Structure formats: structure tokens, C-alpha cells
Amino acid sequence: MAFAEKYRDDIHVVMLDRGDGPALVELFVSHFRVPDNVVVLFDEKNRWSPPYGVTGQPETFFITANGKVVRHVVGPLTASQMVSYAKAAGMKVHERWRAS
């Protein structure tokens, strides 16, 4: 959440729910204080996950502005990993970043 807030003007963060439903997702968004710039999508019919090879959660994709997936990570990420992978995808990130 800190990463999404810090780079809110430079990087688009999208969360995809594959079946938890709106009520549970609303609790998650509230509990973890998901920034208002994060887009939350519902994939009730599981249309988005198969083309990207999603197998579980959490999974993170770094996608260039032209739609190329440059990194697919299964499992949680550290702040430094997120910055490194975002750079590799050509996203604007500051050299030194710390979670606040």
C-alpha cells in the first residue's frame, strides 16, 4: 500500500479479486487502507487470470506502458524488489525508497 501511495502519480496499481466477492474485498480495502488511486477489479468469471498464468495469490505483474509483461512474481514482495522490478518495466521510481 505504501508503494502505491508513494508512486500514485507515476505508476498504476491494479488489484484483481478472483472470487472473494465485494463484501470481503471492501473489508480488505478498509482494513489495509488501500489508497484511493488503486483500482480494484472483480473477475467473477475468472476471465483475466488464465491468460496471465495466475496460479494463486499474491501474484504481481509488472507490465510496460505498451502491455508487455516484464516480470511475474508469485508470492509477497519487499519494497526494494518492487522498486527494482518497476524500474525494469520502465516505470518512474525514485532510487531510494523506504516504506513509511
pLDDT at 89: 84
Which of 7-21, 35-49, 68-82, 85-99 has the weakest average pLDDT?
85-99
CATH H superfamily, domain 2-88? Glutaredoxin (3.40.30.10)
CA pair distance 25, 43, nearest whole angstrom: 12
Which of 41-55, 66-80, 86-100 has the weakest average pLDDT?
86-100
Full 3-state SS string of 54-90: CCCCCEEEEECCCCCEEEEEECCCCHHHHHHHHHHCC
Threshold 0.85, pTM exceeds:
no
For the chain, which residues make up each domain, given as ranges?
A: 2-88
